[in-house]
Amino acid sequence: MKNTSNKQTSNWMNKVQKVVGYTLLAGALSACGAQEDLNDQNAFYPQWHHVESAEQNQERIALPEMESLAESNTAEPTEISREAMPQLESQDSKRVFYFGDIRVESAAELKEFHHYTHVVGNIEIATDDDQFIAWPELRAVAGDLVVSENVSMTRVEFPQLNRVYGALLLNANPKLEEFAMEELSRVTDRIYITKNFSLSDCLVQKLEEDLAKAGNTAAVVSFHNQEGNDCSEILD
């Protein structure tokens, strides 16, 4: 019995010594650094460095993409603004003001004012030799519009004229046969269409009718024009 217990005790002591020995050896290796451990660390470092380098390369590769994206983002508003600018310019070019009174004595003189769309002042047109008078871009007059004593004029056109903040006068144009003011919707003062001996009175009635449809009840003074014509073809 004693021999058996002694053997068991001896085996247990041997196991304890082995565990203690392994523990001390592991501690010494970790403290001093064995060559294999150093080799393992050197073997690990290049892998870590490679991963870091790859990540840096990815970042370096990504940077130009971000820059190009930023450039594309900044380019788009530029494209939009460039496309929008001509529209703004065209809108401004359609609204050109002239401040002051205008008096012309020929179609050539009137042509110098053709680019104006709005006139803040009175307009007087009186010519001797011109048969055709027109102001294609005129849209509004803040004053009186007078077309009077044009000896040779047979036709007058204001195709875009919409408003006259004053009086409209077509007077003493002996050869006038036609006038065109299709867009006219408002005259704040009276309309005088007088002494145009070649102008059918039907055109005067048509103008009154169109203004009434637009809600403008400006008084129209008309006399000494060509009367007695059948107006059923042009009146509604």
The answer to whether residues 181 and 154 belong to one domain is yes
Residue-level pLDDT at 200? 94
For residues 37 and 78, state if they share a domain: yes
Assess whether 179 and 207 both reside in one domain: yes
* Separation of alpha carbons 32 and 36, rounded Å: 12
210 Cβ neighbours under 8 A, 6+ residues apart? 182, 184
Does 79 share its domain with 107? no
Q: Which of 92, 112, 145 represents a domain boundary (last residue)?
A: 92
Q: Report residue 3's pLDDT band, with 50, 70 and 90 as the boundaries.
A: low
> What's the rounded Cα separation, in Å, for the pair 125 and 103?
6
Residue 117 located in a structural domain:
yes
Please tell me the distance from the alpha carbon of residue 149 to that of residue 174, in angstroms, as a whole number. Answer: 8
Q: Are residues 70 and 134 in the same domain?
A: no
Q: Is the pTM of this model over 0.75?
A: no
Give 173-228 pLDDT, tens digit per residue: 999 999 999 999 999 999 999 999 999 999 999 999 999 999 998 899 999 999 87
The number of domains in the chain is 2
Is 229 contained in some domain?
Answer: no
Output the CA–CA distances (angstroms, integers) from residue 215 to 94, 135, 190, 199, 201, in the order listed.
Answer: 26, 25, 15, 25, 22
User: Which tokens belong to 149?
Assistant: 């004593």
* Residue position matching structure tokens 């494209």: 79
Q: Is residue 49 classed as helix, strand or coil in its secondary structure?
A: helix
Same domain, 184 and 200: yes
Mean pLDDT estimate for the chain: 75
95-124 tens-digit pLDDT: 899 999 999 999 999 999 999 999 999 999
List, for residues 47-62, the tens digit of each pLDDT value: 434 444 444 444 433 4
Range of the domain at 72: 2-92
